[in-house]
Amino acid sequence: MTTSAAFPFRPGRARSRVRRVLAGGLAVLLAFAPGGAARGDEPLSSEQQMAAGLRSRMLYDLADRYCDEQLARKELAAVDQANLWVEKVQTQMARAIQTPPSERPEAWNRARQLAESFAAENPGHPRQLLVRVQAGLASLAEARLVLQELAVQAGPANGRADALERLRAARSEFEEILRELREALPAAPTKRDDSGRLTSLQLQALQANLEFQIGTCHLLRGELYDASQMADRLDAFSSAEKSFESVLRVTDAEGGLWYSVQLERVEVARLLGERREAGQRLGNLDVAKLPSNLRPGYWEQKLELATTLGEIRKQLEQVASLVERDPQLELAGLRAVLRAAALADEKERNRWLDSAAEWTRQIETRYGGYWGRLAELTLVGATGNEANSPVTPVAPATPPANSSAGAIEILIRTGDNAAREQRGEDALRAWRKAIATAQAGPHSEAVWRMVLQAHLKVARILEERKAFREAAVRSFE
């Protein structure tokens, strides 16, 4: 079996413009942005396209500067002014995704402050609601990223509580805007005019979208609760279902928002352990009619619902030729391959792991450091022995072949990569996992040499952190 056969996603093919836009992460995190829903049939302006293009290439400073230059123009229409501010906020959100973890809270705060500044500086602006929504979206996106890191045991110690607080803030913002929107709806114009006021149809679209975002807040809240908070978890998922059902009652069937809701309902059922219900909901959707930006989400669910080796192979083969891809789909594919590695026999297991390691590198290349780190931590978490205790590497006299040798090498390579990028904690996690995996059985002399080197690498980082006693113990193991 070749690497591409084990993992039929082909990282190098079809680098379309769509996927480059996804590199910023916003197409995933803001899957159905209210600005787009409320614009109705208004096309993106050339200025918005330029800002989005710069952002997709991670040229955040240039995107900011471009928006500021456009905003400085005289006689700028209210619609264009609001759209450019939305682009500024979303650029800051894209920047926050790629910011190092220690600096990320400040970056998210700047995104929210931008949206709040517009509201404060432009009271009565006809499109103020659209810009204000961005503050809630920033809080929602921040909580989603924390949740993703917690899923691979890489989130901060207080990450769960912080993410729940961000979701409360987002939901509060959305609900407040929703109240104001309902009050404005009776007096809204039925046709667009030069004032830039949102029409009644646009306000109704925004109303449905806000309900959708509130449902998403409840969904993420349910994911954040642990097993000891089952009552809270069930309440959150129930609230999410109610919000999504209310959206379905007011939105057109088989429109973009309708499909977004259906995919979220699949997620709710899957997270509740109702896999058959989730499969039925997904099976009721016609993938050919899905908007292109939602197809990755559809295939992500297909991959997550695959449990047997045969099902995993089938789904990986089906998504191999997709053009529409996003980081979430790629991570779902990586998780599927790691599940396959766990199910495969010894002969095939290392080939699946090699494919997973290669795909991890490709995710970082295509989507940036944040997504690459998530992929790397996913790989480390699923690779090797689950033991955490350090072991003394004593090479056996007659080393038989052992299926964990490949896993050890992958873990050590992953730790080396993290160390080169000065991510000491990630490096320690990978190397320690490699050392712990070595206790599973005897290995060749070459493998034990790698394990000994891993001990020394761990000791080196511990010395840099002035943990001299632990470093000394590690050096003599």
Name, in order, each residue with C-beta under 8 angstroms of 223's C-beta and a sequence gap of 6 or more.
147, 271
CB 173 within 8 A of CB 139: yes
**Residue 172 — pLDDT band, cuts 50, 70, 90?**
very high
CB 367 within 8 A of CB 20: no
pLDDT digits 0-9 by tens, 397-430? 333 334 455 677 677 777 777 776 777 677 777 7
pLDDT digits 0-9 by tens, 40-66? 446 778 889 999 999 988 899 999 999
Lowest mean pLDDT across 269-278, 338-347, 397-406, 451-460: 397-406
Question: What integer best gives the mean pLDDT of the chain?
Answer: 79
Which pLDDT score, from 0 to 100, does residue 279 have?
95
Cβ count within 10 A of residue 397: 5
Does the structure show a pLDDT above 80 at 246? yes
Torsion of CA 140, 104, 49, 13, to 10 degrees: -100
Does the structure show a pLDDT above 80 at 30? no
Mean pLDDT of 194-208: 90
Q: Domain residue spans in the chain?
A: 17-251, 405-475
Angstrom CA distances, 152 to 145, 381, 382, stand at: 11, 7, 9
**Greater model confidence, 192 or 63:** 63
Coil, strand, or helix at residue 253? Answer: coil
Name, in order, each residue with C-beta under 8 angstroms of 215's C-beta and a sequence gap of 6 or more.
239, 240, 241, 242, 243, 244, 247, 261, 264
Cβ count within 10 A of residue 394: 9
Cβ count within 10 A of residue 366: 19
Does the structure show a pLDDT above 50 at 118? yes
Torsion of CA 442, 446, 452, 456, to 10 degrees: -150
Cβ count within 10 A of residue 276: 10
Q: What is the pTM of this model?
A: 0.76
Residue matched to tokens 């330029």: 50
Nearest 5°: the CA angle 51, 57, 62 is: 50
Lowest mean pLDDT across 33-42, 101-110, 399-408: 33-42
Mean pLDDT of 344-363: 82
**Interatomic CA distance for residues 221 and 144, integer angstroms:** 10
Residue-wise DSSP of 99-162: S-GGGHHHHHHHHHHHHHHHHHHSTT-TTHHHHHHHHHHHHHHHHHHHHHHHHTT-S-TTHHHH
Name, in order, each residue with C-beta under 8 angstroms of 89's C-beta and a sequence gap of 6 or more.
111, 114, 115, 131, 134, 135, 138
First to last CA, the chain: 38
Name, in order, each residue with C-beta under 8 angstroms of 46's C-beta and a sequence gap of 6 or more.
none
